[in-house]
Amino acid sequence: MAVVRRIRCLVRGVTDHGEHVYTVELEPTIPVPPFRPGQFLHLALDPYEPDGFWPESRVFSIASSPGERNRLAITYAVKGAFTTRMERELAVGGSVWVKLPYGEFLVDPSRDAVLFAGGTGVTAFAAFLRSLTPEHTSRVLLFYGARTQDLFVYGPLVRARARDVPLLTCALVCEETHGRPQVDAAWPAIATLRHPVFYLSGPPPMLDALSGQLREHGVSMEAIRTDAWE
């Protein structure tokens, strides 16, 4: 298990995707500790003093690759007071503090897997998708939903990985035109897998709905892993 480190980071990029969704690129002042795809970090806007308490923070999935020890990336949607402050204060040249790594939302690469992602919940899978090679031996289905076509922030990554990895199949579901991802629509593809594990990441109402739909199709709770965010 990796040792948690507290690291000051410089803000190197802030990309506005529209509708209050942003990607933030950070440059750690020291190399980040090893982490695994699917883990997350705590981000604090206020300074941290080593002999003091950790400031108020929020958790975000690490979207960058574990191989990038001198770069971190997160994507967030403005949902409450803390992310509203992020939207107002984060700017290139500024700094934040992070502590990492945390979390056990890890896709088992040896098993067939079904990934359901809603909005910025796809960041929980971004590092895993980057880690896949053409030689990957288990099948992976990704169902990625977003409110509008413009909010498929990780659409280019998803499409590129699907081209490069033969056993990865991806479906992008636009809520504006097709509604949210539904298990019934996905089931014909899911039924071709061998004892898959299901990984759900997104807003709690979506995950509750998907979990219920999976249970209706006979999937046990032991085969369902969730990563809910507000």
* CATH fold match for the domains 5-102 and 113-228: no
Q: Which fold has domain 113-228?
A: Rossmann fold (3.40.50)
At 230 the pLDDT is: 60
Contacts of 147 (CB under 8 A, 6+ apart): 19, 119, 174, 175, 176
pLDDT tens across 202-214, in order? 999 999 999 999 9
pLDDT tens across 101-131, in order? 999 999 999 999 999 999 999 999 999 999 9
Answer yes or no: is pLDDT of 2 > 80.
no
Domain boundaries, the chain: 5-102, 113-228
At 228 the pLDDT is: 76
Q: Which fold has domain 5-102?
A: Elongation Factor Tu (Ef-tu); domain 3 (2.40.30)
Question: Does residue 70 come out as left (phi exceeding 0), alpha (psi in the -120 to 50 range) or beta?
Answer: alpha
pLDDT tens across 212-228, in order? 999 999 999 999 999 97
| pTM for the model | 0.95
